Chain A
Amino acid sequence: MKTGRCLCGAVRFEADAVPDTFIICHCEMCRRWQGSAVLGVVVPDEGLRWSGTERVAERQTTSWAKRAWCRDCGTGVYLKSTLDEGKDGEATEIPLGIFDDASGFRPSDEIWIDHKPDSYAFVDMGQALHTRAECIETMPYFTTYGSLEQERER
């Protein structure tokens, strides 16, 4: 079992069956949300337990997903598809950094790679690179992706 919490400790989780991989996303929304990119571990909801949820604020940020953060310290605590709600195999994407022990993970995919700023790059550790177009064509969740402007019109 793995544990984690936000910066101030108000929001905490315990999770069973955590995979040893994470996804790196360079889309503009993730970049603005978490300061550089979102490094997310996709954890099955079965075996995932949150506490302090009264301190969690959620926002529907695209037509297919919502993001959540701690009201007190601003730590992003999860990103979750709203297309999957109530279905088997539902999962939650949890930022790598809020795990109490962030060791033992490796990157499986780096997505929206063509939207990454030129300023920096992550070393190749075997992650598969996907452009925005490739993500939209091959990953059903992304077929309704919107730009930042679309998000603000909501």
Chain B
Amino acid sequence: MRTGQCMCGAVKYRAETENKVSVCYCKMCQRWASGVFMGAMATDFEVTEGEEHLGVVKSSDWAERGFCKACGSNLFYRVPGQYMAVAFGSLDDTTGLSPRIQFYVDKRPEGFELAAKTKEMTEAECIAFFAPEEAGDGGPA
């Protein structure tokens, strides 16, 4: 069980996380998370403090993003009923976590690159795998 909180401490949560960090470069994640979204896959997510400060935005047909309304911190990405990833940076302890997969790799801005060698999926591969009927600039975390 790991805990996490936003930058200002208004919203705190706990969740069970896998050690796998998923990385996404789709344009929505780029905008929302300063160029790249890194999320630790999580279950049993529970807000333990500051529920009233939690903002949730429906960011695509299938996904929602949670943030703190008091400081704007990224907290999670989730596909309701399917899966959730808590923002890597919001975790209090990131020991043992490492990037395992990078989504929308062909959309990564050229100005930075992760040193880790991971599984990779392009935009086309992501859309074909996760939402074959859809097109557009959304993507799983």
Contact = CB atoms under 8 A, between A and B. Distances in A.
Among B6, B36, B68, B89: residue with most chain A CB under 10 A: B89
B111 A107 contact: yes
B111 A123 contact: no
B130 interface: no
A114 interface: no
Contacts of B88: 35-36, 117, 119
Contacts of A106: 111
A151 B8 contact: yes
Interface of A is mostly: mixed
A119 B33 CA distance: 17
B91 to A, nearest CB: 9
Given A7-B31, A95-B34, A97-B30, A120 B99 contact: yes
Interface string B40-71: 00000000000000010101000001111111
Contacts, number: 171
Contacts of B21: 119-120
Interface size grouping (class) on chain A: 35 or more
Contact of A32 (B55, B73, B112): B73
Interface in B98-133: 98-99, 109-116
B34 A37 contact: yes
A8 B31 CA distance: 9
Contact of B32 (A59, A75, A104, A107): A75
Contacts of B99: 119-120
Given A34-B33, A95-B34, A119 B59 contact: no
Interface of A: 5-8, 22, 24, 29, 31-40, 57, 59, 61, 67-76, 95-98, 102-107, 117-123, 125, 148, 151-152
23 contacts: A7-B28, A7-B59, A8-B59, A33-B7, A33-B74, A34-B74, A34-B89, A35-B33, A35-B38, A37-B34, A39-B35, A69-B67, A74-B55, A74-B73, A76-B34, A95-B35, A96-B109, A97-B32, A105-B111, A119-B88, A120-B99, A122-B112, A125-B113
